[in-house]
Amino acid sequence: MRAYQAAHYGRNRSRHIARVREDNLRRKTVAAEGLETYLRAHPCVDCGTTDVRVLEFDHRPDEAKSANVSAMVGMGLPWGRILVEIAKCDVRCANCHRIATMTRGGHFRWGWRTSPRPG
């Protein structure tokens, strides 16, 4: 059986590679479209920003993070699996995400936990 599979792949290698590329692109497109639709319906929970270019998923501290949502989309994982991870998150704009992260527990590079001194 193994020899037959190897011979079959050898005869159909280029078709197989093209089919896999096509399928990967389709899955990534479906995931990216789902992500955009989700973000358009969910503004920043803190400031209400609706610009999808700056919205991010902020994993809640009490939820076990299994993967980064954008990485899951980039891999073209099934939308249902991505939604399971999204359910563990709040949608925040980039600024509010940074502020929330630093307020929760600081940051490894900087010691401040609140806004820096003015001026």
What per-residue string of b and e applies to 2-17 under the rule 16 or more CB within 10 Å gives b? eeeeeeeeeeeeeeee
Residues facing 56 on adjacent strands: 92
pTM of the shown model: 0.77
Instruction: Return the structure tokens found at 56.
Output: 């991010």
Structure confidence at residue 8 (pLDDT): 87
Residues of the chain where predicted confidence (pLDDT) is lower than 70: 106-119
Structure confidence at residue 4 (pLDDT): 86
CA dist 42 and 69 (Å) reads 15
